[in-house]
Structure 1
Amino acid sequence: MSMLNDIPLSGCSPTPLASYLKALGVFRLISEQADSSARGYWKNEAFVLSTKLTKEELAEFFLTRYAPTPVVDPWNRGSGFLSSGDKAAKNLASFEYSKAARLKPFRDSIVQVRAVPLLAKMRKVVNSKKEFDKTKPDFIKQCRLIWRGSLLEWLDAAVIIGSDVSLAWPSLLGTGGNDGRLDFTDNFRQRYLDLFDVSKPDAPPAENTAPLLEHALHGNAVTGTGNHSIGQYMPGAAGGANSSNGFDGRGNVNPWDFILFMEGSVLFAAAASRRLGATGVSSSSAPFAIRANSIGNASVSMKEKSARGEQWFPLWDRPAALREIRALLSEGRAQLGPMTVREPVDMARAIARLGVARGISAFERYGYIERNGQSTFAVPLGRWKVVSQPNQSLLSDLDTYLRRISREAAGKRATASLTTAARRLNDSVFAVAADGTSPFRWQDVLLALSGADALAATLPPSKNGFGIVPKLHSGWLVSANDGSVEFRLAVAFASQRGIRRYFLPLNKFGNQLDEKGDVNVVCSGRDFVADAIAFLDRRLIDSAKDTSRTLMQFADVFASLSDISSFLQGALDTGRIMSLARALMAIDYKDSSLIASPIGSEPPEDAFTLFRFCLAPRHWQNDPRHLQKDIPVRADIFRRLSSGDLSSASRLAASHLRAHGFIPPLSIAAGDSRLLAAALAFPLSSASRDILLRSFISVSDNNQPKNKLHQ
């Protein structure tokens, strides 16, 4: 095998879309018509062509030997096949009757088109919209049966014929080769006629054709670009309002750009990619085409019209042959476990889990979005690298929930708050798929889930179409753990049994919304201190029904005393604790050992110890080694404390403890009474209890230590 020359095509970059397709067009034409051993790859924002040809021979091929692919759309009125005497028909005739050898494949294809039986009828009914629209599907199906070779490959790129024989239009080529009044195939022929004189046998290039080619391939400066239409593929060169230093700008299109990007689009044949199993929008059957969504792009509204969806175009950094790229695009799918990707957020997750074809280094994401009135532009929405990210399987917990909330947010009656919540959640999942190593990004997902549950709490269950945050695996505790005090306290607070029913109207099993669950909801989710007090007050009411007169505060994860000290100092972001805790209530704490619960050697201030033992939790008193059932819970002390009457509450607490044989470390407390009351909502382990016991003063009877706490 002879040495291949690496020729960087600096004029062929991944953006805009016309430039990306132009690179593939060059690669396809060279591989099929000049050098079958050619390879191609992307490097430094340019396409690199590895070929036996030199740079000069590459230019010589396009100027003297390049045979254009027969791109035709006889099913469209502006194609030139259904009319006579207009410009499109004359352009078509220039190709059909040319004697140029390089146009022979094109002429042969025109013969195939004219051999389709229904073409004659299409010409007759072209001015009757009803009859034309009725005949068009049958005509396209006849074309599919009769056409062969490159003509058939082009048809598969322009039209999707489903398994039910229905027709759909891949967004890449508009509506079957045209976009409104712009017929891509006629434009293709016009641009070719601008560059070559097809009336002569060798179809020689025009005077400015070679410089324009150098500009298209290598980005060299050139004059002679024209005010041509280029449709959605290169918005910056399309002209229009505010596109220049005046009120209106002219188009600035190199004819080679249009020709070569059309040649590249042929590779995106949709026929083989029907395995995507598209439902809904038709574009789902095209290679790496998915439903439109504003996720990950702040310039697009959640409700913005984008019926044509979006498409992710692969980039690869290792030399590949055309057959490999054609196979990749014909497969044109991404998998997320057993599920085929249909949404942008799913595509990002599939990339993160390497659920795409091997060899792809990145994807360039494009959305087909309406801009400048009702014009559709292929807008670049960012690049996504194919890098395996950790813990992505955790996002599977949200599969169904994400679809429900996104569907509801896209509805006509969706409120602004629902739209915002859905976008925030999808954006956060999108971000964690890009970088799953950051605990802060995982926390952003939890915070977004918290916001969604907060919204769910304001809606009657019968009006909630998206439900509540589903059960989450305990692995979230590891991925989102940033080592902060706020996170540890949020986990401890959220891990208490049955706590979620105080924030959401849930059924008796605590797994779904219930109209009757409102009676338990006492927390608003807006202020942690207020909610912690409300939660504990409700638990005290429930405890009053229990003859044991103890506080039920069972938890799977306990707070540390040092963390509670930080909380009492007022140095923490209580809003973040609340938001994180609300989402963490959905965690399945079966494997709560995934997060450590440090005990801490420094107990909080003595005032906390005073009130903590007046509300001793049941699991403390059930420990036969310490603290028998000698200190009943005093709800009135807690209510005085939470109302701000600290002095009265502390005197009652000290008196209560003395009455049961325990001498507290102080009799009158000072500080923030509501913060003290809220701190009691954090569950503490028996080991932490033992540390707090040391604060009590021992008394003697006949010179013997006496303390019921240690009996």
Structure 2
Amino acid sequence: MGKSERHEHVLNGCAPVPLAGYLKALGVLRLIAEHPVAGQADKDVAGWWRDEAFHLRTRLTGEELLSFFLDHYRPSAVVAPWNGGSGFFAGDNRDGFAPLRDSPAERFAGLRAAMEICERALADAGLVERPQGEAKLSFVLRLRGQLPDEALIWIDAALALSRDDLLFPPLLGTGGNDGRLDFTNNFMRRLVSSKTPRGLFDAQTGAHRPEAVPMLRAALFGDATDGLTDAAIGQFAPGAAGGPNSTAGFEGAPNLNPWDFVLMIEGALLFAGALTRRNESARQSGASFPFTVKATGAGWGGIGVEDEDDARAEFWAPLWSRPATAAEIRQFLAEGRAVLNGRTARDGLEFARAAAALGTSRGIDAFQRYGFVMRAGKAYLATPLGRRRVTAVAPPAVALIAELEEGHWLERVRYRLRKGEEGARARILAQRLDDALFALTEPGAGKPEVQAALIALGAVARYLAVAPKARETVPPPPALSPRWLSLADDGSPEFHVAAALASLGHPPPKAAEDDRKREDPILPVAAHVAPLDLTQPFKKGPAWYDEKRRKAGARDGRLEVVWGDGDLTRNLIAMLNRRLIGRTGREEGVDDTLCASTGAPLSAVLAFLDTSSFVDARCAALLAGLVWVRPGRWRLHSPGRDSAGRGWAAMPLPYAVLKPLFTPADRLHQERTIGERRRSPLPRDHALPIPSGLVARLLRGEVAPAVRDALLRAHASGIASPFLDSRVREGTFAIGAVDPRRLAAALLIPIDDNGLDRVIERAYPQSNADANADTETADHAA
């Protein structure tokens, strides 16, 4: 075989899940590349991930690969004399420690030398039991100065030094142990223990034991084997850790291939010295370690907000599909921090947002997310929490999350909702919001995910509206950009109705320049959902109403809150009545509380009136989130004129008669296409006020009298209708099947220009005779 010939091996035994398999793959790569004997090493060995397996390119053939580990592998100096149970103290298990300490085999020379140095260091420090606190820090500092460089790799992987304390990378527990399980002691036992379960090698000769061969094939290539042992693996492989429901019967014993544990520990050494640079304190959330952040109880896996307090951290394992050497991976890990808006990602949600940019710049295809979560009593398990694919272009929806950070709102609300004093409901809302925001980071995130985020946001805002204590530290949601609307618009009637309602009070796209320059609506719909300071410009960010800071003459924001726990119809009627207070019908532009920047298509309003397929709860949930969006000049993706016309037959006449009265006069003054003609429905010097008590009539079920009053009012304002005949005047005409309360609620929903044209054509199709009819001016009739 030529030295330049390369072989590719598929290591089916090294999968990215569980974490043990991931670290084992790194261990194989590192050991081949960094073997201390030059003739046995292959510094150009490269590895990559494909089809849930690790692929290896090396000069070694398959048999040579097996021989490398069986005959030439030299265990790294994995020792932890600062831990109880490490083998260095009385009472510790010494089944692996003692044979290695006394072994003459060259294979174990490096590990044996490190053990001897540690023993002398403990004796010099007068330590007969594990050190704690400052004594532990002092001991580790002295030990580092005594160990050779090759022995420092493990210490740098298991510990990190801050100015005055030790930090523990969660990947290796708390300094190389997990509860009572010391990784170093178990590493030694898996190597040479002569007791059951036996180790892989004979401590005296260094030769591998016969059973090590099939176990190595299983560990590398996934071959079947019946030699698994009853030994602990700790947090790294939950499925192999034993415990309840792990096998038939009530409780199973651990199942472990010793090679899995040994190679896994060797792989963790690639993270040695990889404490990343950051501006924040290294103590915060474990985020100083590569791809390690504070746990977020949400996202794609089995973790909830209730797990956060007992979770150690999250680890996002990078997966790459292009061959990379051990040196390249080590360098990558040393620089491995996810940056979001110029700062290091601090938790799972922030890492998910930053993952796309980090991955594409480093050649990463995906991240496998793990949470170190307390699952087995007080022990932690590296629980798989899903996988995040990386794309060349981040999904547009992920950029929406940044808008919620205005004024640190997202950080503040996530913290507040998790506080115990807020109760279980608040924690549930926190998780739903995080779940929805996690979904926005997915490459395929689209309209359903954006709508889910709006719904979660609305639920949180409604909670804050009735939680005075929470409002002391958390402001209302920021005023969001129209991008939320465009990315959420799925064309459904529920979304169109909600978006149109949420735009009430905002200047229409065709409003006068002075109106468009106004920074806030005259009365934002958000004010009906939560108590807002109505003197604070909505565009600059809503603020809670504060009686102590209320300016002289300012409106009491609490009085505008009418949205309650009732159904959609009830709440829309309450909003309508509130917005009609003081309205005369003569207002222009944004001074009219019924003006809106967005109109729903007529088909959506008719679906609302029909109720057979319209989902009220979904519309209400969307509205609660959309009220925090600035519509701007965005327009709904609404059907054209022909589509609007197809709803003609389904349009209830009472709705067509009443709707113009609940439309800003300046829209009726505009020249419109009614039938085949262009005309202004309402003469420019006329107004169309709502007759007193009309809404109350509807709520009492008096639809016919309400229609009569509306037709008479329209006639007096110069709008003729063929339906104003003796039957109407006498209240004897048929009005059809229409729910009076639903009809009243529908009158609040702004409609687009096509829909308004069809409404007027339906109820007020002006003929020549109508045009010459004798009318009164609105001012005279008022």
Structural mapping, 1:347-358, within 5 Å: 347-354=351-358, 357-358=361-362
Are 1:138 and 2:138 an aligned pair?
yes
Q: What is the CA–CA distance in structure 2 between the aligned matches of 1:437 and 1:78, rounded to whole Å?
A: 48
Would the alpha carbon gap of residues 660 and 45 (structure 1) be closer, same or farther in structure 2, given more than 3 Å must change? closer
Choose 358-367 or 622-631, whichever is displaced more. 622-631
Q: Secondary structure at the match of 1:220?
A: coil
What residue is the counterpart of 2:399 in the other structure?
A: 393
Are 1:331 and 2:335 an aligned pair?
yes
Q: What is the CA–CA distance in structure 2 between the aligned matches of 1:186 and 1:616, rounded to whole Å?
A: 79
What residue is the counterpart of 1:696 in the other structure?
A: 764
What residue is the counterpart of 1:5 in the other structure?
A: 7
Code of the aligned partner of 2:652? E
Structural mapping, 1:56-71, within 5 Å: 56-71=63-78
After superposition, the C-alpha distances for 1:196-234 in whole angstroms (9 at most, x for unaligned) are 12212xx11112111211121112222332211211112
Are 1:196 and 2:264 an aligned pair?
no
Would the alpha carbon gap of residues 565 and 301 (structure 1) be closer, same or farther in structure 2, given more than 3 Å must change? closer
Structural mapping, 1:284-433, within 5 Å: 284-297=287-300, 299-304=302-307, 305-354=309-358, 357-387=361-391, 388-391=393-396, 392-399=398-405, 400-433=408-441
What residue is the counterpart of 1:502 in the other structure?
A: 528
CA contact (8 A) 1:335 1:355 kept: no
Code of the aligned partner of 1:159? L
Deviation at 1:704, TM superposition (A): 4.6
What residue is the counterpart of 2:624 in the other structure?
A: 582
What residue is the counterpart of 1:633 in the other structure?
A: 690
Q: Secondary structure at the match of 1:48?
A: strand
What residue is the counterpart of 2:18 in the other structure?
A: 16
Choose 679-688 or 502-511, whichever is displaced more. 679-688
Would the alpha carbon gap of residues 122 and 240 (structure 1) be closer, same or farther in structure 2, given more than 3 Å must change? farther
Are 1:683 and 2:683 an aligned pair?
no
What residue is the counterpart of 1:609 in the other structure?
A: 656
User: Which stretches in structure 1 are left out of the alignment for 5+ residues?
Assistant: none
Deviation at 1:13, TM superposition (A): 0.8
After superposition, the C-alpha distances for 1:228-282 in whole angstroms (9 at most, x for unaligned) are 1211112222223333323332222111111110101111225442437455555
Deviation at 1:631, TM superposition (A): 2.7
Are 1:243 and 2:275 an aligned pair?
no
Would the alpha carbon gap of residues 462 and 309 (structure 1) be closer, same or farther in structure 2, given more than 3 Å must change? closer
What residue is the counterpart of 2:158 in the other structure?
A: 158
Would the alpha carbon gap of residues 29 and 475 (structure 1) be closer, same or farther in structure 2, given more than 3 Å must change? same
Q: What is the CA–CA distance in structure 1 between the aligned matches of 2:777 and 2:618, rounded to whole Å?
A: 36
Deviation at 1:42, TM superposition (A): 1.0
CA contact (8 A) 2:450 2:487 kept: yes
Deviation at 1:632, TM superposition (A): 2.4
Normalized against structure 2, the TM-score is what?
Answer: 0.83
Q: What is the CA–CA distance in structure 2 between the aligned matches of 1:481 and 1:545, rounded to whole Å?
A: 31
Q: 2:545 aligns with which of 504, 511, 514?
A: 514
CA contact (8 A) 1:230 1:258 kept: yes
Q: Secondary structure at the match of 1:507?
A: coil
Would the alpha carbon gap of residues 672 and 353 (structure 1) be closer, same or farther in structure 2, given more than 3 Å must change? farther
What residue is the counterpart of 2:450 in the other structure?
A: 442
Code of the aligned partner of 1:150? E
What residue is the counterpart of 1:648 in the other structure?
A: 705
Deviation at 1:132, TM superposition (A): 4.2
CA contact (8 A) 2:594 2:662 kept: no
Deviation at 1:525, TM superposition (A): 6.2
What residue is the counterpart of 1:258 in the other structure?
A: 261
Choose 438-447 or 235-244, whichever is displaced more. 235-244
Deviation at 1:539, TM superposition (A): 1.4
Q: What is the CA–CA distance in structure 1 between the aligned matches of 2:42 and 2:752, rounded to whole Å?
A: 74
Q: What is the CA–CA distance in structure 2 between the aligned matches of 1:702 and 1:352, rounded to whole Å?
A: 65
Q: 1:106 aligns with which of 111, 122, 125?
A: 111
CA contact (8 A) 1:489 1:577 kept: yes
Q: Secondary structure at the match of 1:524?
A: coil
Q: Say what the alpha-carbon RMSD is for the aligned residues.
A: 2.9
Q: What is the CA–CA distance in structure 2 between the aligned matches of 1:218 and 1:298, rounded to whole Å?
A: 28
Code of the aligned partner of 1:336? L
Deviation at 1:319, TM superposition (A): 0.7
Q: What is the CA–CA distance in structure 2 between the aligned matches of 1:307 and 1:642, rounded to whole Å?
A: 54
Q: Secondary structure at the match of 1:370?
A: strand
Would the alpha carbon gap of residues 55 and 507 (structure 1) be closer, same or farther in structure 2, given more than 3 Å must change? same
After superposition, the C-alpha distances for 1:548-571 in whole angstroms (9 at most, x for unaligned) are 999531211122333323332334
CA contact (8 A) 1:495 1:555 kept: yes
Q: What is the CA–CA distance in structure 1 between the aligned matches of 2:777 and 2:610, rounded to whole Å?
A: 28
Q: What is the CA–CA distance in structure 1 between the aligned matches of 2:155 and 2:238, rounded to whole Å?
A: 25
Percentage of matched positions with identical amino acids: 35
CA contact (8 A) 1:700 1:706 kept: no
Code of the aligned partner of 2:258? P
Are 1:527 and 2:567 an aligned pair?
yes
After superposition, the C-alpha distances for 1:656-678 in whole angstroms (9 at most, x for unaligned) are 33344543343343422122211
CA contact (8 A) 1:291 1:310 kept: yes
Are 1:208 and 2:208 an aligned pair?
no
Deviation at 1:102, TM superposition (A): 2.2
Would the alpha carbon gap of residues 618 and 461 (structure 1) be closer, same or farther in structure 2, given more than 3 Å must change? farther
Q: Secondary structure at the match of 1:49?
A: strand
Deviation at 1:544, TM superposition (A): 5.4
CA contact (8 A) 1:19 1:261 kept: yes
Q: Secondary structure at the match of 1:315?
A: strand
Deviation at 1:407, TM superposition (A): 1.3
Would the alpha carbon gap of residues 640 and 120 (structure 1) be closer, same or farther in structure 2, given more than 3 Å must change? same
Would the alpha carbon gap of residues 240 and 484 (structure 1) be closer, same or farther in structure 2, given more than 3 Å must change? closer
Q: 1:73 aligns with which of 69, 76, 80?
A: 80
Deviation at 1:685, TM superposition (A): 5.3
CA contact (8 A) 2:229 2:254 kept: yes
CA contact (8 A) 1:270 1:287 kept: no
Q: 2:475 aligns with which of 448, 467, 490?
A: 467
Code of the aligned partner of 2:741? R
Code of the aligned partner of 2:185? D
Choose 474-483 or 139-148, whichever is displaced more. 139-148
Deviation at 1:293, TM superposition (A): 2.1
Deviation at 1:701, TM superposition (A): 7.4
After superposition, the C-alpha distances for 1:396-444 in whole angstroms (9 at most, x for unaligned) are 1123333223212322223222111111111111112114442111111
Code of the aligned partner of 2:376? N
After superposition, the C-alpha distances for 1:546-598 in whole angstroms (9 at most, x for unaligned) are 89999531211122333323332334223222221221111122342475685
Deviation at 1:623, TM superposition (A): 5.0
Q: What is the CA–CA distance in structure 1 between the aligned matches of 2:115 and 2:586, rounded to whole Å?
A: 89
Code of the aligned partner of 1:140? V
Would the alpha carbon gap of residues 307 and 578 (structure 1) be closer, same or farther in structure 2, given more than 3 Å must change? closer
CA contact (8 A) 2:654 2:703 kept: no
CA contact (8 A) 1:461 1:515 kept: no
Q: 1:536 aligns with which of 576, 587, 591?
A: 576
Code of the aligned partner of 1:612? K
Q: What is the CA–CA distance in structure 1 between the aligned matches of 2:143 and 2:770, rounded to whole Å?
A: 110
Q: Secondary structure at the match of 1:30?
A: helix
Q: Count the aligned residue pairs.
A: 700
Q: Secondary structure at the match of 2:371?
A: strand
Choose 33-42 or 675-684, whichever is displaced more. 675-684
Would the alpha carbon gap of residues 436 and 195 (structure 1) be closer, same or farther in structure 2, given more than 3 Å must change? closer
Would the alpha carbon gap of residues 301 and 20 (structure 1) be closer, same or farther in structure 2, given more than 3 Å must change? same
CA contact (8 A) 2:16 2:52 kept: yes
